[in-house]
Amino acid sequence: MNLNSDFNARAAVHAARLDWKPSPIPGVDRRMLDRIGDEVARATSIVRYAPHSRFSAHTHGGGEEFLVLDGVFQDEHGDYPAGTYVRNPPTSRHTPGSEPGCTLFVKLWQFDPDDRTPVRIDTDSLSFAPAPDVPGVEFAVLYESTGELVLLERWAPGINVTVPLPGGIELLVLDGGFIEGGEEFTRLSWLRLPAGAMLKATAGQGSCKLWVKSGHLAREPHRPTAP
């Protein structure tokens, strides 16, 4: 499957408007944002676990990054309530599930192959700082490396955000919204702009909170390999 697989093009998906599609695991459904591959895929998705659903134990050959949007995600390493940001690097292994049910924003097979840094962050405990070059924007760092920067951002109501994107950007609306390219983005809307583009957006009249990743689209995406 190839979905929004041209990383030189703008891509936008309003996930809250999509139907849920079943995964091969009963009780686990998906809304796909981009994808290269079938069940072993380089993928960005919204994933919903029904109560008492569980995957079998598996190894992440290409790494897994996720943000818990609601409910409580669980594995043998602990419980991860809404607001938890997690990076399970390549070669990591776990048995995921959720007794109460949960919804996640998930990215698979998008790590540097040499990255072995696990990350567990309760984002509700983070402090935000003013962005030095964009008035009205506050940010908190979730992860930073040579090739990517992952942030939570808060945009003040009505501000204009104009930012050059040498390494591209992805944004997921967590609360509130913004307008870009004449298109309105609300909760669970996702936007990807390629390397070399310019973000020109206007925050909505309410608060706007975003998950933001930049820099990573400067490198060519790889098709994952089956185990």
> pLDDT tens digits, residue range 39-67?
888 999 999 999 999 988 888 888 999 99
DSSP characters over 37-67: ESSSEEEEEEEEEPTTEEPPPEEESS-EEEE
Looking at the fold, whether 151 and 115 belong to one and the same domain comes out as no
Residue where a domain terminates, one of 96, 122, 148: 122
Which of 56-65, 174-183, 191-200 has the lowest average pLDDT? 56-65
- The answer to whether position 224 is within a domain reads no
CA distances from 76 to 15, 55, 72, 93, 97 (A): 29, 12, 13, 10, 9
Q: What is the pLDDT of residue 220?
A: 81
Q: What is the CATH number of the domain that holds 59?
A: 2.60.120.10
pLDDT tens profile 93-145: 999 999 999 999 999 999 988 889 999 999 999 999 999 989 999 999 999 99
Q: What is the pLDDT of residue 59?
A: 87
- The answer to whether position 164 is within a domain reads yes
CA distances from 11 to 1, 33, 57, 58, 192 (A): 16, 9, 33, 30, 5
Looking at the fold, whether 61 and 108 belong to one and the same domain comes out as yes
Looking at the fold, whether 58 and 168 belong to one and the same domain comes out as no
Rg (CA), the chain: 17
State the residue for tokens 């949960």: 102
Residue where a domain terminates, one of 99, 122, 145: 122
- The answer to whether position 41 is within a domain reads yes
Residue 16 — φ and ψ, nearest 5°? -65, -15
pLDDT tens profile 8-37: 999 999 999 999 999 999 999 999 999 998
- The answer to whether position 223 is within a domain reads no
CA dist 94 and 215 (Å) reads 28
Percentage, residues of the chain above pLDDT 90: 84
Contacts of 40 (CB under 8 A, 6+ apart): 61, 109, 224, 225, 226, 227
Structurally, how many domains does the chain consist of? 2
CA dist 226 and 197 (Å) reads 33
CA dist 73 and 107 (Å) reads 15
pLDDT bracket for residue 227 (50, 70, 90):
low
- The answer to whether position 227 is within a domain reads no
Looking at the fold, whether 116 and 23 belong to one and the same domain comes out as yes
Q: What is the pLDDT of residue 20?
A: 98
Stretch 145-166: mean pLDDT: 96
Q: What is the pLDDT of residue 157?
A: 97
Q: Are 53 and 100 in contact (CB under 8 A)?
A: no
Higher-confidence residue of 222 and 215: namely 215
- The answer to whether position 161 is within a domain reads yes
Stretch 203-209: mean pLDDT: 93
Looking at the fold, whether 49 and 15 belong to one and the same domain comes out as yes
Q: What is the pLDDT of residue 12?
A: 98
Taking residue 71's Cβ as centre, other Cβ atoms within 10 Å add up to 19
Residue where a domain terminates, one of 69, 99, 122: 122
Domain that includes residue 35, residue range: 2-122
Looking at the fold, whether 45 and 102 belong to one and the same domain comes out as yes
CA dist 9 and 15 (Å) reads 19
Looking at the fold, whether 16 and 65 belong to one and the same domain comes out as yes
CA distances from 200 to 51, 135, 166 (A): 40, 14, 14
